[in-house]
Structure 1
Amino acid sequence: MDPKHPALPRGFSALLLIAMILAAVNLRPAVTSLGALLDPVIEDLSMNGFIAGIITGVPPLCFAILGPLAPRLAGKRGPELVVVGAMLAILCGLVLRSLAPNMWVFFIFTALALAGIAVGNILMPVLVKRWFPTKIGLVTGSYTTAVALGASVVAAIAVPVNDALGGAWRGGLALWAIPALIATLIWVVVYFGLRNQITQLQMPAPKTQLIAPVMGPMSRNSTAWWIALFFGAQSTVAYILMGWAPKIFTDFGVDPAYAGALLGVILGVGVPLSFIMPALAAKFSHQGPLVIVNGIAGIVAIAGLLIAPVQGAFIWAVLLGICGSSFPLALTMIGLKAHTAAGVSKLSTFGQSIGYLIAIPGPFLVGALHETTDSWTLPILLIAGLILFQTFTGIMAGRPRFVEDHGVPTRVDA
């Protein structure tokens, strides 16, 4: 148990875990529901491919900008209150963008929802460490599975649910504010319930301990850069697929409802792999073989999209889902490439912030290429190139090296 925090009553621990799972469920629907309904949104709001590309590229932009700020904000106000604010931002963003009269208002409120997602995404591991320090694996597995399920289920049913509501995209997008409303209400209860626990904290006296070598700036660390490049490459592919995969399949002749379900397949494959991939990665001193397997799956899927996009659509979706397991692999590498918790924290902040910055142009470039060529050939070839880059950087990042390897041991106050 974290010495900074008293043990929570069992019933309240269960409520907190439920609240975390509900928050995690809301960390993807704003993205995947839009991807599934992108065609009618583009048509109704008179967007061109460039604007649609910007909107699909907003998620990594929010993650890159807000990622480093979220821990600072949580340090001042407490992560619990900040998560309440994040859920409220998601709720307001989802409701208000469904009422947007034009594409710019739609863009602003989509960004609001994604800002909440970015903050929530960053703070989930903080809450795990803060309140469940002896059950990190179990609780982390629970909320990451909730993230994957929230993404895949919404992608799979967004179109049929929208059709059942009358076919107007506004109702189809606004519906996903309901889980955000539930999560917000539960988190308000949790926050006030935790206040008594937080005010009773007793800070332990500082202790002196020997830690692993002190690191220099991550920007001068080759291991950190390979991690950042790998994280950026896989994030680029992931957000391109979340934003554009349903439209790509639809334009090739796949039924829109089935195209949305195929995005659900792409994301759903990641549910079991989010458990399997970290366990496998930890058994390898060099994670390159796993990176190569993912890369081969992705390239085969891309070739299939160009040759038989409709006939083999389900197979290509499964293979793209396997390729997408590079996300839990990248997160696992962050933990494996540092000797200490301090090293993991610095590497995570650097790797994810730089990685999401790298990912920003990808969805926009796909939209721009499709707009200028009126074809999906070049955008799909761009995805293939990104998968090759992902594979190369992943092999380099997976080498048995650590960010502290060139530091000097020192004694510090814990």
Structure 2
Amino acid sequence: MKAWIAGVLGVVGVMVTGMAQAQDLIVEKKVFDLPSYTTQSGRTLKNVKVGWESYGTLNADKSNAILICHFFSGNSHAAGKYAVADAAPGYWDAIIGPGKAIDTNKYFVIASDTLVNLNTGDPKTTTTGPASIDPDTSKPYALDFPVVTIGDFVNVQKALVESLGIKKLVMVAGPSMGALQTYEWAASHPEMVGKAMAVIGAAEADAQLIAWLDVWAAPILVDPNWNKGDYYGKTPPNAGLAKALTVVTLQANHGDWTNGTFGRRPAKEGEEPAKALGNKFQVQSILDNAGEARAKVSDANHFLYLVKANQLYAAGGKSLADAMSRIKAPLLIVNQPKDLVFPDEMIQRTVAEAKKAGRDVTHVTIQGTRGHLDGVISMKQAEGAVKAFVEK
């Protein structure tokens, strides 16, 4: 688990603590092919592909399925391992598996890669986005790829779910951007969602989040190698992408972690930051190195498209109030009060609007030193609440 989270969030393994222990759930990555898909903006894409995996067994009447949606820099690998020798299992392995809160002895759990997934260099990720080949030109789409939304992510997932003969999901759940997809499912397809568990995410992107996402994107846009998105077959804008990933990693954590882990130590003994402009503190060096490593298996345009999808987000496509008027499923909302990406007051607005609309809401908090990231790596704290919610 440690190594996987390190890869996903650009944080080296020694920086990740409190992870769940690995188990022997072995999973297979598959590919879902959609001959054509029309985006919410009206553009039809050919040969859409996304990766997916599952845990447990679908029952005869196909009534025991749960869908897990991944976070901004994640992919479908929510639990288990692809091989026994893998260094770590999926990110929510603490709560998904045999006998766990989301019990794969009872439920058939599905997880898929989104459109414009960040991890284009990962052989275990399959996605369709700017780096994909446009069948009409035999060249990468680059910025000719249409803007896609969280609603588009969900609609492709819906096609996958329906291809398996599943008409209704026991639950949809996910952390961060996965929470956005969860609310989208519940608002746009209420007849298909039995329950919804949104972790470290709100039901609408507010102005503060929109602005912060712009800060995430900025290093890519000022990298000359970005070249207005036209860099395929050329030098990619990995310097800008690396710094963008550094920004994401920092905001996804908390000062309790940075101060407690690094303090004011220099990156190298004897190279005091005060003695030369290029001398760094340890926290700078670690975050920069992690961002550079992660950039090598990621795509800058995909990062920008993910940013846009998150900025555009309002569950159901309209507003927080409208979304809550359409959601019918009981809600379990889990957050970390020290979250810097989706601050506590933002989550409280979602909770308040849900209650105002008469929704069945359970709100649980988790603690830790990692802020937003605790919703990925510290979910074992919430296993009792998750188990009770799934089974009630």
Which TM-score band applies after superposition, normalised by the shorter structure?
under 0.3
Larger proportion of helix: 1
**TM-score, scaled to structure 2:** 0.26
Q: Structure with the greater relative contact order (CA < 8 A, sep ≥ 6): 1 or 2?
A: 1
Larger proportion of strand: 2
Structure of greater Rg: 1
**TM-score, scaled to structure 1:** 0.25
